[in-house]
Structure formats: C-alpha cells, structure tokens
Amino acid sequence: MEKDFLDEMIADRARLNPRFPDLVSEAVRRRAVARELTARREAKGLSQTLVAAKMGTAASVVSKLEGGGDVKLSTLQRYCAAIGQPFPPPPPRKRGEAGSAPSR
C-alpha cells in the first residue's frame, strides 16, 4: 500500500519520539471506545446534558469524553454508570457487525 501524508507525518514524528506510533494507536483506540459509548448513549435516548447531570459534572466533560479526549478513569467509570453500561466498556464493534454504530 502506498504511504499517505498521515503515514509520513507519523514516521517523521517517530524519528523524534520512538513512542509516537504507540501514542497514535492509543488515541485511535480511545476514539473508537468513545464512539461506541456515544452510540450506546444515543440508543438509550439519553442526552449529554442528562448524562452529565447523572455524573454530577458539566456537559462539556461528557462532550470531551465522547470526542475521544483523554479523561480520568474515574470519569469514564461515572459515564458508564450514568448510561447503564458495565465498566470496563466493551471493545468497539467492527464495522458491519450486527448492531454496530454507523460510521461518521
């Protein structure tokens, strides 16, 4: 497969920080989990505002979490409890898997 701009950028950054590819992989994983949890919240008809209230936090915190932002483990645990999702959250479903969220 041909390298694209993103591959080149990761390679350039990896020369400066050998851990960079691992950091990118972790961010991608965190984003996939966030999308899965967002899909589960939406399927239950819960708004970010309601979930934030159940968590005792601001809606901006819920938005950050659902955007794949780096949040505290305790925040993720409270989010899962607020949407009725066991912790730890399940791994993201693969595209095309039954019941998987549509890609955005």
Burial (CB < 10 A; 0-12, 13-18, 19+), residue 2, is: exposed
Closest to 64 measured CA to CA, from 83, 86, 38: 38
pTM of the model: 0.74
pLDDT in tens, the chain (104 residues): 677 898 899 899 999 999 999 999 988 888 988 999 999 999 999 999 999 999 999 999 999 999 988 889 999 999 999 999 998 877 777 766 555 444 44
Domain segments of the chain as ranges: 5-82
Region label for 96, one of left (φ > 0), alpha (ψ between -120 and 50) or beta (otherwise): left
The CATH code that applies to domain 5-82 is 1.10.260.40
Distance from C-alpha of 24 to C-alpha of 31, rounded to nearest angstrom = 11
